[in-house]
A and B are shown apart, each in its own frame.
Chain A
Amino acid sequence: MSTTTLPSAMEAARQRLDAWVREVIEWHFDPATGCPFWLNWAANAGWDPRKEVHAYADLDKFGGFQDEWLRGGPVRQWVPKGYAGKPVYIFETGGSTGVPKARINIDDFRIDYENFSKTLPDDAFPMGADWISIGPSGPRRLRLAVEHLCQHRGGICFGVDLDPRWVIKLLKRNAFEEVELYKRHVIDQALTLMKAHDNIKCLFTTPKLLEALCERVSVKKLGITGVFCGGTEMTPQFHRFAVEELLDGIYFAPTYGNTLMGLATHKPPTVDDNWAIIYFPPAPRAMIEVVDPDEPTRLVGYGETGRVRLTTLTKEFFMPRFLERDEAEREAPCDQYPWDGVRNVRPFSKFATNVVEGVY
């Protein structure tokens, strides 16, 4: 049994974060290792982050990271010189609004998902078991990331693709019948694979596709022992519905992740949580905080609602103080994750009506 108290664990986490911030800043703003974007930025900013950023809080000096910086090229401006010559992936975000945001990747997705792998229970996601991933592939990180997670755990990953941008177009023109046909097409392919390959025991899919799959079969009877679910917003009611009605006791791991951050881990639910979905970021590689929408440098109080603010801190990608299109309640640190988390992430209410969320 650990004798560490939560306050001391929080302090240790904070020191680790500050040290990591210094290391990441040194990397990104060193002309030998940094990327053209940040080196140019620093040249125009009139201050040297390597001299003035000593701790996580000092990242406020960057102001807000602008959404538009990630839309359009040149994409090579984001490749750190320290990684010159390495194979580079480009991953895009949803694309439901205009030109998609893009982020370069080298090994981050592998590191994120290997870290996440440590949170998965082996009885539900057995080492050596095969997986099936039913969801977006194409320009998204998700397919490669889930496949890597599976391989990292000794499995082979089957895949069925879904194009969320097409689904959004269908929904925008009220073509619900086509949406249903497309969903059925996706689920048909998945069922064919799941019935043909007995070693598929782990499933990744999105909330809507999980519902659609469970309308057709009992995934437990098909041999699935663990479900990893993400890709879009999940409500507490969906969480309860999935656990109580869709999964017959199968382990359910909801996640909140995106191309810009990495992957947040869901705190195992307690009765007191009332099915709230509580995520903690993969600190110190990324931080998710909840801020006052009108004063984004001010964190709201624990339990209060605000806009989600993301800071990504890896040597591949530095993104300070980015305001997400989501809102949530600020969650207090806990023993397992002694840093801030978020509760019940959902579309930011001021933007919600402009974004169509679909099957994906």
Chain B
Amino acid sequence: MTHLPILRHGVAYRSVDVVTVVHHRTRQPFVQISQANTGLIRRDLLRQDEARAELAAIPARDLIAMAAHAAELFMTATLPLDPVDGVTQSPQDYVEQLSSTTGLPHVLVRRNMRKIHGVLSQMGDVIAGLTRGLDISVLDTGVGESDGHLFSFYPRGHSLGVVLPNNSPGVHSLWAPAIGMKTPLVLKPGSSEPWTPYRIAYALMQAGVPKSAFCLYPADHAGGGEVLRSSSRGMFFGDASAARRFKGDSRVEVHGPGYSKVVIGNDRIDHWQDYIEVIATSVADNGGRSCVNASGLWVTGHAEAIAHALAKRLSQVVPRAADDEQALLAPFADAGVPGRVSAMIDADLAVAGATDVTAQYRGAERVKTTPDGTYLLPTVILCDSPDHPLANREFMFPFVSVVPVDEDALPELMGPSLVVSLISDNGDLRDRFVRSPHVDRLNLGPIPTNQIGWDQPHEGNLFDHLYGRRAIQRVA
């Protein structure tokens, strides 16, 4: 059986403690993953200053060139997987392995590969976006000058620790730029999707980034906590309850549910038919598994007609085989989850004021089991008000609530939203969204919520997270 070892500053280590992950469909053991004990993590990370020094000695431009080379390797090369046994991984192996443990269709894995390729190959642009166009050499010297003004940045610590999710490989594009910013990585891979962080790490190492910049510690929750505590800066991905544990810890950037939304203002609402494709893409692309997928459609009119049109459109999204190029839905790695999620939705539907309008297009059953796995079918809920328990929820499948709302109450009524695509030319409404502290990423116009511009940071700014700015003066 394939084995994924721990990477301790780039060196493979097999633990006595292993977890076996099964193939989502056959339920047969598929991969063994070495588990790191917390003491091992702590002890390794005592040496992070050395790892940081080794990485920092390389000019940032060279690191960006290495990342570009790694992008090609990630897409095309056969890379190590288990150096202990000499096992390697081709790009096709990666696609199939990732699909085997998560259920993600091959076509979606490839689409996510391209996303990761994008961030690696354009790391210079990404960092320029994060630094608002600073000369990258400021990362080498710590001091720069702009329009005659001196500025200085300092690294806030020796490493970035990240507790990674399983939902979609695309999220790994968020931490990858840390390497270009001279920050070693300490990663706790997801339990069913460890494949991507390993492949990115091996691609970067083969491209010349020092091995010491990569610690990968598959572990239990305690190990994940240790990764965050022992790293000077952290990122945490998890569901709402897990994310709450790290709220208030300024060292840790928390990535919980996105509650992303499409909003249509009064001025465009009569043209809603024009936006059904943008909305459907926002909801269902990538199987609805990303925090940038829309889970809310907040409209100022025609709610029922829009809900039905969207439900009809999304009912075309059906389970297909993992290697079907048209596949858009992913089965759940744990076949028990769809039933439990569906039951949660039904429990809230018992509260008056919401209807599952998809039922009349796809049938009443929300859960479907095929030879390829157990799926949750796209679901459109029509709520009668923003107060309904289902009005602002997020699940890991194409799920969206259509919520009628008074334009004057926007955006305050929506609460925090990772992405909002605002379809309106109303300057006053746009201004209110621009000023809102609740919107992390704002798309003005009919742009799918999941369309990412790499020069535009969202979910916090990695550069600001890793570097602090200090005042500086010097004798002329």
Which residues of A pack against B, CB within 8 Å?
A: 174, 176, 180, 207-208, 211, 214-215, 235-241, 245-246, 274-275
* Chain A: minimal CB distance from B24 (Å): 23
Q: Which residues of A contact B40 (CB under 8 A)?
A: 237, 241, 245
Do B245 and A241 touch across chains, with their CB atoms under 8 A apart?
Answer: no
- Provided the pairs A215-B43, A241-B40 are in contact, do residues A176 and B225 lie with their beta carbons within 8 angstroms? yes
B16 touches A274 (CB 8 A): yes
Given contacts A174-B245, A176-B225, A176-B229, contact A236 B43 (CB under 8 A): no
A229 to chain B, nearest CB (A): 12
Please provide the chain B residues from 16 to 49 with a CB less than 8 Å away from any CB of chain A in the complex: 16-17, 35, 37-40, 42-43, 46
B15 at the interface (CB under 8 A from A): yes
Say whether A237 contacts B225, CB under 8 Å.
no
Contact of B37 with A238 in the complex, beta carbons under 8 Å: yes
- Cross-chain contact of B16 among A174, A215, A237 (Cβ < 8 A): A237
Return the contact of B42 from the options A207, A211, A235, A274 (Cβ within 8 A).
Answer: A211
Contact check, A215 vs B42: say whether CB atoms are below 8 A apart: yes
The docked-state distance in angstroms from the alpha carbon of A211 to that of B43 is 8
Complex CA distance for A241 and B16, rounded to whole angstroms: 10
- Within the complex, which residue of B39, B42, B46, B229 is in contact with A238, where a contact is CB–CB below 8 Å? B39
Within 8 A of A (CB), among B201-255: 225, 229, 245
Residues of A within 8 A of B229 (CB): 176, 180
* Cα A238 to Cα B42 with chains together (Å): 13
B42 close to A237 (CB less than 8 A):
no
Q: Which residue of B lies closest to A235 (CB)?
A: B17
- Give the distance to chain A from B219, nearest Cβ to Cβ, in Å: 10
A237-B13 Cα distance, complex, nearest whole Å: 12
> Contacts A176-B225, A176-B229 given: A237-B37 contact, CB under 8 Å?
yes
Would you call the interface of chain A mostly helix, strand, loop, or mixed? helix
Q: Could you jot down 25 A-B contacts, CB within 8 Å?
A: A176-B225, A176-B229, A180-B229, A208-B39, A211-B38, A211-B39, A211-B42, A211-B43, A214-B43, A215-B42, A215-B46, A235-B16, A235-B37, A236-B17, A237-B16, A237-B17, A237-B37, A237-B40, A238-B37, A239-B16, A240-B16, A241-B39, A245-B43, A246-B39, A246-B43
**Complex Cα–Cα for A274 and B14 (A):** 12
Q: How far is the CA of A238 from the CA of B35 in the complex (A)?
A: 11
- Min CB distance A185 to B, Å, is 17
Q: Which residues of B contact A207 (CB under 8 A)?
A: 39
Query: What separation, in Å, do the CA atoms of A214 and B15 have in the docked complex?
Result: 20
Give the Cβ gap from B420 to chain A, nearest Cβ, in Å.
31
| Of A176, A211, A241, most B-chain CB atoms within 10 Å | A241
| A-chain residues with CB within 8 Å of residue B38 when the two chains form the complex | 211
A343 to B: closest C-beta gap in Å: 13
Q: Which residues of B contact A208 (CB under 8 A)?
A: 39
Cα of A237 to Cα of B35 in the assembled complex, Å? 9
The residue on B at minimum CB distance from A211 is B39
* In the bound complex, CA of A89 to CA of B245 (Å): 41
CA–CA, A245 and B40, complex, Å: 9
Residues of B within 8 A of A211 (CB): 38-39, 42-43
Which residue of chain A has the shortest Cβ distance to B222 in the bound complex? A357
B28-72 CB contacts (< 8 Å) to partner A: 35, 37-40, 42-43, 46
- Chain A residues, Cβ within 8 Å of B225: 176
Q: How far, in angstroms, from A176 to B229 measured CA to CA in the complex? A: 8
Q: How far is the CB of B252 from chain A (nearest CB, A)?
A: 11
The 6 A-B pairs at the shortest CB distance, nearest first, are namely A211-B39, A237-B17, A236-B16, A237-B16, A275-B16, A237-B37
With A176-B225, A176-B229, A245-B40 as given contacts, are A237 and B46 in contact (CB-CB < 8 Å)? no
Chain B residues 115-147 with CB under 8 Å of chain A are: none
Measured between beta carbons, the chain B residues less than 8 angstroms from A176 are 225, 229
Q: Which of B38, B46, B245 has the most CB of A within 10 A?
A: B38
In the assembled complex, the CB of B425 is this many whole angstroms from the nearest CB of chain A, namely 46
Bound Cα distance from A226 to B117, whole angstroms: 53
Most chain B Cβ neighbours within 10 Å, of A208, A214, A238: A238
Among residues of A, the one whose C-beta sits closest to the C-beta of B226 is A176
Bound-complex Cα distance A274 to B17 (A): 10
Compute how far the CA of A235 lies from the CA of B35 in the bound complex, rounded to whole angstroms.
Answer: 11
Q: A235-B37, A237-B37, A238-B39 are in contact. List 19 more A-B contacts (CB 8 A).
A: A176-B225, A180-B229, A211-B38, A211-B42, A214-B43, A215-B43, A235-B16, A235-B17, A236-B16, A237-B16, A237-B35, A237-B40, A239-B16, A241-B39, A241-B40, A245-B40, A245-B43, A246-B39, A275-B16
Contact present for B37 and A241 (CB under 8 Å): yes
Contacts of A238 in B (CB 8 A): 37, 39
Q: Which residue of A lies closest to B244 (CB)?
A: A174
Given the complex of chains A and B, what is the CA–CA distance between A240 and B245 in angstroms?
31
Q: How far apart are the CA atoms of A278 and B40 in the complex, in Å?
A: 22
B35: A residues at CB distance < 8 A = 237
B47 to chain A, nearest CB (A): 11
In the assembled complex, the Cα of A215 lies from the Cα of B39 at a distance in Å of 9
| Contact partners of A239 in chain B: CB under 8 A | 16
Give the shortest distance, in Å, between B63 (CB) and chain A (any CB).
Answer: 30
C-alpha spacing A274/B15, complex, angstroms: 11
Q: Which B residue sits closest to A275, measured CB to CB?
A: B16
Bound-state CA distance A192–B229 (Å) is 26
Which residues from chain B contact A180 at a C-beta distance below 8 Å? 229
Name the A residues within 8 Å of B15 (CB-CB).
237
Could you tell me the distance between the alpha carbons of A208 and B40 in the complex, rounded to whole angstroms?
Answer: 11
Q: Report how far A236 CA is from B15 CA in the complex, Å.
A: 9
* Shortest CB distance A220–B (Å): 15
B222 to chain A, nearest CB (A): 9
In angstroms, Cα B17 to Cα A208, docked, is 17
Closest-CB distance, A169 to chain B (whole angstroms): 16
Q: What does the 1/0 interface line of B328-349 toward A look like (CB < 8 Å)?
A: 0000000000000000000000
CB distance from B8 to the nearest CB of A (A): 10
Least Cβ–Cβ distance between A271 and chain B, in angstroms: 12
The distance in angstroms between the C-alpha atoms of A20 and B94, with both chains bound, is 62
Minimum C-beta distance from A313 to chain B (A): 34
Q: In the bound complex, how far is the Cα of B38 from the Cα of A176, in angstroms?
A: 14
Residues from chain A with a CB closer than 8 A to the CB of B46 are: 215
For the complex, give the distance between the alpha carbons of A245 and B245 in Å.
31
Docked Cα-Cα span, A241 to B36, in Å, equals 10
Q: Which residue of A lies closest to B229 (CB)?
A: A176
Among B15, B39, B42, chain A packs the most CB atoms within 10 A around the CB of B39
For A174, the chain B residues whose CB sits under 8 A away are 245
Q: CA separation between A94 and B39, bound complex, in Å?
A: 22
What CA separation (Å) do A313 and B205 show in the bound complex? Answer: 60
In the bound complex, what is the Cα–Cα distance between A207 and B40 (angstroms)? 12
CB of B325, distance to nearest CB on chain A (Å)? 42
- Chain B residues with CB below 8 A from A237, complex form: 15-17, 35, 37, 40
- Taking the nearest CB of chain A, how far is it from the CB of B120, in angstroms? 33
Chain A residues in 8 Å Cβ range of B17: 235-237
Give B402-425 as 1s and 0s: 1 = Cβ < 8 Å from A's Cβ atoms. 000000000000000000000000
Q: Which residue of B lies closest to A216 (CB)?
A: B46
A-contacting residues, B70-121, CB 8 Å? none
Name the CB-closest residue of B to A240: B16
Q: How many angstroms from the CA of A180 to the CA of B225 in the assembled complex?
A: 13
Report B172-205 residues with CB < 8 Å from chain A CB.
Answer: none
CB distance from B53 to the nearest CB of A (A): 20
| Most chain A beta-carbon contacts within 10 A, residue among B15, B37, B225, B245 | B37
